[in-house]
Structure 1
Amino acid sequence: MQRLVVLGAGESGVGSAILGKKEGFEVFVSDFGKVKETYKEVLIHHEIEWEEENHSEEKILNANLVMKSPGIPDKAPIVTKLVKAGIKIVSEIEFAAWFTEAQLIGITGTNGKTTTATLTYELLKQGGLNVGLGGNIGKSFAGMVADNAFENYVLELSSFQLDGIEKYRNHIAVILNIVPDHLDRYDNDFSRYVAAKFRIIMNQSEQDYFIYDADDEVISRWLAANEIRSQKMPFSVTKKLEKGAWIENEKLIIKLNNKEEIMPIATLGLQGQHNIKNAMAASTVATLLKIRKATIRESLENFQGVEHRLERVLKINNVLYINDSKATNVNATFYALDSMETPTVWIVGGVDKGNDYAELLPLVNEKVKAIICLGIDNDKIIEQFGSCVDIVVETDSMKSAVQVAYRLSEKGDTVLLSPACASFDLFKNYEDRGRQFKEAVRNL
């Protein structure tokens, strides 16, 4: 019997363990941290052996195969030992793909992944396809494959997940954009991060499709320098294309073989340049999979976005509170600030992933009246913006950040939580940070 060791007992780890057991592996799960109660119950229910707050080498180094959760860096001591021992390490995405014949739609990009994946899933589901949504959001791919659930999967894929694939192949692959992020994980080498993103198309054939932003310089440069096998389906908000998606007379046009007009952009449920691009990517997928134009139009009109991404929480004393906790990098916060139409009290900070805040300066100058720092180390933020904003306040809890924002804001202002940083210094994750923000606002 083949022995599968799963490193990390989060969503992808537990999903892989269940799938491994179903496929006849002897499974052992090891987590260096604490395992959440809900996951413990699942492992016990499936009679899978596990450990927490430890990696027992004698139980790990005798594996035939190791599934490493995407959050565990390649430099972790146990991973180094596995590599030295010549034991095969795969990602959950790769492992799950071995056991399904389903059609795979993979979506990556520095920003907009969750919105686009969720929107794509809605379009396909409304169009009558048997489809699941997972990967970097919601359910693990492996867990869904273990349930034998779907004929099509829409998967949000992070660069960390793509780092660990070998044969995994998307029938339709999407890259939304590429800007510097997670550089701490790639030794501050942007080209390695770009290469990780482009792994999404590495196993595609001439029968497969690649959807990408033709306005993105990094993507265009890579495509100019590299041959690809799949059929290109670009989208653009600045130019008319021979095929793909573009804007003409304020309408969203998609052209595969002959021209199709989808809808006026003014009626999209989510507004803003980046959301128009997300809608273009999602509706190109839907068009390739033969979803009716009327269904696409209706779904795009009704889509209200995802939690923690420019989510309107409440209006109090005519001040709007917006939760953009999912903005874990500078570029995502750039979108958020860019979409602000009123004087803004900006809550920012957390674990800095090698951020360069300089590109935000013009927007902060124009839109931000006060900055509230929410992190353990705020020096970089204060240094960057201290001279262009009159009020900068440091806080160390969400409750106090929201109370300060309440005091500093006036009628007609917006209070925006858009941290531009990871959340691990004060919160479990960006969801926890966003929920604490919403709770603090509701308790004002």
Structure 2
Amino acid sequence: MSKSIAILGAGESGIGAAILGLKHGYRVFLSDAGAISADRKLVLQSYGIAFEEGGHSEDIILASDEVIKSPGIPDRVPMIQALVAKGIPVISEIEFAYRYIPQTAKVIAITGTNGKTTTTLLTYHILKSAGLKVALGGNVGVSLAKLVAEGDYDYFVVEVSSFQLDGIVKFKPNVAVLLNITPDHLDRYDYDFQKYVASKFRITENLSHEESFIYCADSEPVTEEVAKRKIEACLFAVSATKSPKWEAYMDDEHLIFNYRFKEKDKKHTIPVSEISLIGKHNMINSMSAVLSALTMEVSIEQILKGLKTFVNAPHRLEFCGEIDGVRFINDSKATNVDAVYYALEGIRQPIVWIAGGIDKGNEYDQIAGLVADKVKGLICLGVDNSKLTGRFGSTVETRETRSVEEAVNLGYEMAASGDVVLLSPACASFDLFKNYEDRGDQFRVAVKNLKETKRAKV
């Protein structure tokens, strides 16, 4: 008799797990407490997978041999508590997918509070441009389970969240990358930062001396936790400062790699000018991606090719155009102060900063010095801008608007040739927009429209 699995949640991870489970002979039942989209229903129906929506059938779920839950479902919900009480294993989709990854394939798993999407995309791009048979997935794009079910890959580059790591048992990547840890999602961790730190460090718990762990030496919570733990993996620390004690570090104009791997000393130098990304935080991301590729024995020449040709995902310090020497950059995904710090720090030109939205309990002291040094004007784009204007209104020329088009026009008026107009909101988008993508898309269109208007007047 085949084993039965219940899958909670019909998101990307749930659909992928259902397909993989079916492929390996499980009796699969998918349950979602909400509505399932029409396109996902069609996928489930095409595979003949039993499913329900609008509630959970406890009798079926509690009779399962194992349950795979969506990362978005907290452990404290009654259904999960009932499963745990009955002794039914509850795992994450990445744990389930890992069982069926061929032993010859390599997994690079990347986590961190900020920067994991960029690092994942860059690592994938480097391996792909080197001609390797590589898949991209996890928390960005296609679920790992679906990739394993439908593809034939030699490498998997996977972005993983703390929520996904909470449900692992044997998940063991060949390379684990931890970029940074700052307070986030604390409502899932009883508002205990240390619990969140422990969740991120689950990425290391199954590593042996045969695997590699790449971590950011500039993140104090990370280095403090590394010092406490006995991590069996080969350790690679990266730093955006000139710190020759680390395996990868940065001087003014170069990334320096000086490390030992497979009992051989290695040294490489990469000019910062060869990298398409900007900002010190992106140098951490780049060093992490480069080290990941080096441990996969990709040549430095192939890595340089990948670094030069990489284009980051939209809304992450995305260059949107230049008008009369004024550059416009879309960093709409910067929905917290920490992310804005990286944006302000990484841009060398004077900045007209567009910020605002739904405040997430922001404290702006972290960026006050950067604002004073670099920001010549602040445009508040939100329904309630009182916290921003109260903090910076007395030191920086400030305007307010609820229109992206007006914000872009104001930015252009306040800037001079050589300046940057930066959308980096520090806030959630839901007061005026569907999501941060909608906000960034509108910014991109507004820049395009302004450019066309200026051209038409010439």
Please give the TM-score of this superposition, normalised by the length of structure 1: 0.90
Partners of 1:49 and 1:22 lie apart in 2 by 14
Paired residue type of 1:71: G
Question: Aligned letter for 2:10?
Answer: A
Residue of structure 1 in register with 2:52 after alignment: 51
Residue 2 (1) aligns with residue 3 (2):
yes
Residues 229-378 of structure 1 aligned to structure 2 (within 5 Å) = 229-241=232-244, 244-247=247-250, 250-254=253-257, 255-256=259-260, 257-316=264-323, 319-340=326-347, 341-350=349-358, 352=360, 354-366=361-373, 367=375, 369-374=377-382
Alignment CA distance shift 1:322-1:249 (3 Å) = closer
Deviation at 1:107, TM superposition (A): 0.8
In structure 1, C-alpha distance between the alignment counterparts of 2:281 and 2:407, rounded to whole Å:
30
Classify the secondary structure of the residue corresponding to 2:157.
strand
- Going from structure 1 to structure 2, the CA distance change for 1:29 and 1:426 (only over 3 Å counts) comes to farther
CA positional deviation for 1:18: 0.8
C-alpha deviations, 1:89-134, integer Å up to 9, x for none? 1111111101112321111111111111111112222223221111
Name the CA shift for 1:439/1:27 in 2 (closer, same or farther; >3 Å). farther
2:355–2:427 Cα contact (<8 Å) kept: no
Aligned to 1:21: 22
- Match of 1:418, as an amino acid? S
SS of structure 1 residue aligned to 2:16:
helix
Aligned equivalent of 1:95:
96
SS of corresponding position for 1:81 = helix
Unaligned runs of 5+ in 2: 451-458
Aligned to 1:165: 168
Q: Deviations over 1:309-332 (max 9, x none)?
A: 011123356543322122232211
Match of 1:416 in 2: 422
| Residue 247 (structure 1) shift | 3.6
User: Structure 1 residue 408: deviation in Å?
Assistant: 5.5
2:138 corresponding residue in structure 1: 135
What is the SS of the residue equivalent to 2:84?
A: helix
Amino acid at match of 2:94: I
1:214 to 213, 217, 221: 217
3-state SS, counterpart of residue 167 of structure 1: coil
CA distances 1:280-336 after superposition (whole Å, capped 9, x unpaired):
111111111111111111211222322210111233565433221222322111111
SS in 2 for 1:146: helix
1:209-239 deviation digits (Å, cap 9, x = unpaired): 1111222222211122221111111122324
TM-score by length of 2: 0.87
Structure 1 CA distance, aligned partners of 2:53 and 2:367?
A: 41
How far did 1:167 drift? 0.9
Distance change (3 Å), C-alpha of 1:315 and 1:95: same
Q: Which amino acid aligns with 1:420?
A: A
CA contact (8 A) 2:137 2:156 kept: yes
Residues 239 and 364 of structure 1, relative CA distance in 2, 3 Å threshold: closer
Cα separation, partners in 2 of 1:350 and 1:150, compared to 1, 3 Å: farther
Matches within 5 A, 1:119-134: 119-134=122-137
1:434 to 414, 437, 440: 440
Whether contact under 8 Å (1:402, 1:437) holds in the other structure is yes
Gaps of 5+ in 1: none
| CA distance in structure 1 between the aligned counterparts of 2:239 and 2:407, rounded to whole angstroms | 41
Counterpart of 1:120, as a letter, is T
**Hey, what's the Cα distance between the residues in 2 that align with 1:289 and 1:361?**
41
* 1:361-400 equivalence runs, <5 A: 361-366=368-373, 367=375, 369-374=377-382, 380-381=387-388, 383-391=390-398, 393=400, 395=402, 400=403
Match for residue 63 of structure 1? 64
How far, CA to CA, are the matches of 1:266 and 1:6 in structure 2? 47
Alignment-derived partner of residue 85 in structure 2:
84
Aligned AA for 1:349? G
**Aligned in 2, Cα 1:34/1:160: closer, same or farther, shift over 3 Å?**
same
CA distance in 1, matches of 2:342, 2:127: 27
Contact 1:214 1:220 in 2 (8 A): yes
Corresponding pairs, count? 438
Instruction: Give the SS at the match of 2:188.
Output: coil
Segment drifting more, 323-332 vs 159-168? 323-332
Looking at structure 1, the residues matched to 55 and 421 of structure 2 have their Cα atoms a distance apart, in angstroms, of: 42
Alpha carbons of 1:259 and 1:25: their partners in 2 closer, same or farther (altered >3 Å)?
A: closer
1:272 alignment partner AA: G
C-alpha contact 1:253 1:259 (8 A) present in aligned 2: no
Pair 1:228-2:231 in alignment: yes
Q: RMSD of the alignment, in Å?
A: 2.5
> Are the counterparts in 1 of residues 274 and 304 from structure 2 also a CA contact under 8 Å?
no
Cα distance in 2 for residues equivalent to 1:5 and 1:283: 39
Distance change >3 Å, CA 164–CA 63, structure 1 → 2: same
Structure 1 vs Structure 2: percent identity of aligned residues? 46
Distance 2:359 2:266 in 1: 46
